[in-house]
Amino acid sequence: MPHPSPEARTLDGFRLLPGFLGRGDQEALRDEIFARMKQAPLYIPRMPKSGAPMRVRMTNFGSLGWVTDKERGYRYQETHPETGRPWPAIPDLVLQIWNDVGGYPDAPEACLVNYYEGDARMGLHVDADEEAWDAPVVSISLGDTAVFRIGGLLRSDPTRSVRLASGDVCVLGGSSRRAFHGVDRILPGTSRLLAKGGRINLTLRRVRA
Ligand code: MD3
Ligand code: FE
């Protein structure tokens, strides 16, 4: 091939594994997540400087969790910002998924839990708070389908829309790891996994180099 297609250029290293988790595994994982959220409740993250609330509620599992607030901005820390307690352990099934698809020798330190309800969405951004730049990010979707958008290394690069359904896993390796991405919207009523509807996304990350 004389040159890569535009799609290959924007999506190098992006792998979508549709239906990676069957219904039984999705239900087991859902139950493990809700059990852990009793110890580490969802909180409303706030943008650095402005203090504007994000639309997605969050919590974390693992030795490090991604948090943000008005005063100190984006960072990883060992404790929940509201309870001050350590984050719960990452579920074994989730560590197993990382081992199966991540292709990375070290275990993830962080499992960010994003909870989308109603018209929650996530604007186009780059994940840049990790030192381990060579490690992939692995994402697991549960509940209603998300309209996910991924572009290239520049905000102005063309983007492509990808639907992420319950049980889908995606791996962001190679140059896709530094690509702009976001969630445009959640399609209500597309899954019966979560009694109250909405969507949970888990992202697994290696933080320290
Ligand atoms: C592409 N989460 O938590 S998951 C995030 O659905 C985040 O909740 C979205 O973006 C969600 O930062 C998207 C898929 C994903 C995760 C990390 C990426 C795509 C990515 C990092 C780099 C490029
Ligand atoms: Fe992201």
Residue 22 falls inside a structural domain: yes
Residue 100 Cα, ligand 1 centroid: separation in angstroms?
A: 19
Tally of domains within the chain: 1
Residue 2 Cα, ligand 1 centroid: separation in angstroms?
A: 31
Percent of the chain with pLDDT over 70: 95
Residue 1 falls inside a structural domain: no
- Confidence class of residue 3 from pLDDT cuts 50, 70 and 90? low
Residue 3 falls inside a structural domain: no
Domain with 186 in it: 8-205
The CATH number of the domain holding residue 88 is: 2.60.120.590
Mean pLDDT within 61-79: 98
Q: From residue 41, how far is each of 5, 22, 33, 194 by CA, in Å?
A: 44, 26, 10, 17
Residue 9 pLDDT > 50, yes or no? no
Residue 12 pLDDT > 90, yes or no? no
Residue 194 falls inside a structural domain: yes
Q: End-to-end distance of the chain based on CA atoms, in angstroms? A: 35
At 81-107, the pLDDT tens digits run 999 999 999 999 999 999 999 999 999
Residue 116 falls inside a structural domain: yes
Please provide the DSSP assignment of 75-100 as one string: EEESB-TTT-PBPPPPPHHHHHHHHH
Q: From residue 27, how far is each of 32, 152, 184, 191 by CA, in Å?
A: 9, 34, 25, 12
Extract the tokens encoding 128.
């840049």
| 8 Å CB contact between 68 and 74 | yes
At 17-66, the pLDDT tens digits run 999 999 999 999 999 999 999 999 999 999 999 999 999 999 999 999 99
